[in-house]
Amino acid sequence: VFSIRDAAANNLKRLAEEFGPEWAMHHIIPQASLINLDNT
């Protein structure tokens, strides 16, 4: 499980680097927040 989460985090980092911080704030952060809420 750790390696899958680690790979996902690295992929998100690369996407944010490729598309920029504004794109990441608009597309990645809201989805990550929803996932975090589901796990509480």
List pLDDT tens digits, range 9-28. Answer: 999 999 999 999 999 999 98
- The C-alpha atoms of residue 30 and residue 28 are separated, in whole angstroms, by 6
Structural domains counted in the chain:
1
Sign of CA dihedral 40, 15, 13, 5: positive
Region 19-38: mean pLDDT is 86
What pLDDT was estimated at residue 40?
Answer: 59
What pLDDT was estimated at residue 35?
Answer: 79
What's the mean pLDDT when you consider all of the chain? Answer: 88
- The C-alpha atoms of residue 37 and residue 23 are separated, in whole angstroms, by 21
- The C-alpha atoms of residue 5 and residue 25 are separated, in whole angstroms, by 20
Q: Residue 2 corresponds to which tokens in the numbers above?
A: 């750790």
Residue-number span of the structural domain to which 31 is assigned: 2-38
When pLDDT is cut at 50, 70 and 90, the band that residue 7 belongs to is very high
